[in-house]
Amino acid sequence: MKVLSVASECVPLIKTGGLADVVGALPAALAPQGVEMRVLLPGYPAVMKATQAEVDVLSDDDLFGGPARVLSVRAPHEQVYVLEAPHLYDRPGSIYLGPDGRDWPDNPQRFAALCWTAARIAAEGVGEWRPDVLHLHDWQAGLVPEYLRDRHLATPTVLTIHNMAFHGSADPALIPDLRLDPGRFHPDGYEAWGRVSALKAGLIGATRLTTVSPTYAYELTTPEFGMGFDGLMRTRRGALSGILNGIDETAWNPADDPAIHAYADPRGKTRNRDALREELGLPPSDGPLCVVVSRLSEQKGLDLLLQALPTLLACGGQLALLGSGDRGLESAFLNAARDPNVAVRIGYDEALSHRMIAGGDAILVPSRFEPCGLTQLYGLRYGTVPVVALTGGLADTVINASPAALAAGCATGLQFHPVTVDALRNALSRLCELFADARAFTRMQKNAMKSPVGWDGSAAAYAALYRDLLHRG
């Protein structure tokens, strides 16, 4: 079974967030299921620099404003088709934003080109390889069903919603430039609130919809989390399923991690905790060392953490944070780091993230919404007890330390609800109380390290979904 995965980012070639981790992990995870997955990815400068031994497999004299070609390259764990279109992708800044921090004004065309090329591959194939199914990721791949419709192709499609907050909205004046059928610009098509919505095109047109946790699948049908599309999601409930993300258990393995002092038991964390405190300039403490590795944003609930931080510090806890994002939050956390029990590093450092998760006693994820979340999975894998909001994938992956769960010996972390400052303060107080009970806390850490966080179950679910599509087709 051949599947083309269409995405805007993919590790190890380019990454801005968890989407890239998922896209990069799926091909290897699906191979044992009999699925040959290849990835179609834009040719950003970082991608072009990383590709070698490429083979030119398709060309286009005018792809949304300039010439383009598709290169076939080998990445470490997957075959990748790179869409080289310098007029669209060869530019400084991040892959979505210009140097001024704003969206590139031609983002609609940039990702329409990716979708157009995916539809062409579905129609023509690449050599002898032609996909049976197209797996689309977020709004950047959302226009693929429209282009398949225009080509009268019935290739089944799966759209995975990694984050409903981003719609890929564009001015309707761009409809001709985007090569869209103007007759489809209506509420039952790709129109949303008077604008073109690439995400809605996918939500309407994809054969099946998935998202990255069962709880988030339900949440998307509610006004609170549906981001204006809750009604549409309710109408498509029968086509929607939630499949949890996993993590790369080879890259994230405390027993064989070159970035840390390796360990296979929670007792081995002591050396990493001492080393982390020394590296970050934190003093010894009898309370829990809490870590945050995150994009700094209100979605992640980190403004709530700032307000709740005095509660953690008052009970002897410490905070080490690694992340970047909202400038106001960056400044506020740097200001909080004036306290000797708070350490903040603005930016991102992959090796440091491993050292922080290995050295932390707990990892804090107070997100207002979280489709799946990966950092709590890293925490589980490393015996770093997650303290999480009861939402999305956080609700599906952490067993709350309720009295019943503690008595049964199955708790792996702490959950709090509602997502408020007071509830977070209470969770941090509970964390400190549990940490003071060394026996109970060690049991939680051991449970966490046994939690299933890999891709086996999720890969089987995706493979079953693809097979069902082909069977029904």
From the annotation, which residues make up the binding site? 15
Q: Any idea how long the chain is?
A: 473
* DSSP per position, 420-456: SHHHHHHHHHHHHHHHHSHHHHHHHHHHHHHS--SSH
Regarding beta strands 2-6 and 36-42, do their DSSP bridges make them parallel or antiparallel, or are they unpaired? parallel
Contact of 293 with 323, CB cutoff 8 Å: yes
C-alpha 16/C-alpha 9 separation (Å) is 8
- Burial of residue 52 (CB within 10 Å: 0-12, 13-18, 19+) is exposed
DSSP structure class, residue 390: S
* DSSP per position, 86-147: HHHH--SS-SSB-TTSSBPTTHHHHHHHHHHHHHHHHHH-BTTB--SEEEEETGGGTTHHHH
Coil vs helix vs strand at 334: helix
Q: Which residues contribute to the annotated binding site for ADP-alpha-D-glucose?
A: 15
C-alpha 252/C-alpha 162 separation (Å) is 21
What is the chain's alpha carbon radius of gyration, rounded to the nearest angstrom? 23
